[in-house]
Amino acid sequence: EAQVTQNPRYLITVTGKKLTVTCSQNMNHEYMSWYRQDPGLGLRQIYYSMNVEVTDKGDVPEGYKVSRKEKRNFPLILESPSPNQTSLYFCASKTSGTYGYTFGSGTRLTVV
């Protein structure tokens, strides 16, 4: 089944404790992206990658890192999480030149 897989689905952590949210897609998509979704603010792009070893900042990159060493994987790293990073996170992918994203099921992160 064509899909984007995120892990974990739910995560509660403490301020300052480094964490990684994994994202993997099996559709051979070039383009991958991370979003956060907050009530009233909609989806905001954190980082995106147009292909392997090519990443760029979205609208809200502060406090996040990403890497794209393989085409299928695009992990999101929070080096020192803070409570304002409590949010619902989505990984998405698509074929370059198209408009329809495939989204993962989301990771609900709580930072206390």
Residues that bind another protein (CB under 8 A): 4, 33, 40-45, 48, 58-59, 90, 92, 96-106
Closest contact distance (angstroms) between CB of 12 and another protein is 17
Catalogue the E-assigned strands of 1-112: 4-7, 10-13, 19-25, 31-38, 42-51, 54-57, 65-66, 76-78, 87-94, 102-103, 107-111
SS3 of residue 70 by DSSP: coil
Q: Which is nearer to another protein, 12 or 41 (CB)?
A: 41
Instruction: For another protein, give the closer residue by CB, 6 or 15.
Output: 6
User: What burial class does residue 96 get, using C-beta atoms within 10 Å of its C-beta: 0-12 exposed, 13-18 middle, 19+ buried?
Assistant: exposed
Q: Between 15 and 91, whose beta carbon lies closer to another protein?
A: 91
